[in-house]
Amino acid sequence: MPTRHVYPFEKLRVWQSARTLIKSVYRITRTYPRSEMYGLTSQTNRAAVSVAANLAEGSSRTSRKDQAHFSQIAYGSLMELACLLIVAVDLEILLPNQEAKLRAEIEAISRQLNALRASQVSP
């Protein structure tokens, strides 16, 4: 069996953390009401996936400026996710302790993204 090729983005710790976050988010949104399937559930899941997807896309760019741009987009998706979780708590769809657990993951990824972005814009 041939060895599986590892893409550069798969080596990024922040991308690996984003994968873990995706699983956590999907696990939680499975409990959302069916009436939210095409609303808050879908948007929340897409925001989580967008973090990892933008890191992957950015890793394929040859210029550091382009890489940093996609890291910034990933950060924006992460903040969108944080907002959607707050809204879910406000609507009593998500328990505050569930949001707090996800928020801890978001904060850790935020720090990782900020460090990655700083390394991409530094000469």
**pLDDT attached to residue 3:** 87
Give 48-64 pLDDT, tens digit per residue: 999 999 999 999 999 99
3-state secondary structure 23-86: HHHHHHHCCCCHHHHHHHHHHHHHHHHHHHHHHHHHHCCCCHHHHHHHHHHHHHHHHHHHHHHH
99-105 average pLDDT score: 98
Structure tokens at 6: 């590892």
Indicate the domain borders of the chain.
Answer: 8-121
pTM (predicted TM-score): 0.94
Q: What is the average pLDDT value for the chain, to the nearest integer?
A: 96
Q: Under CATH, what is the fold of the domain 8-121?
A: de novo design (two linked rop proteins) (1.20.1440)
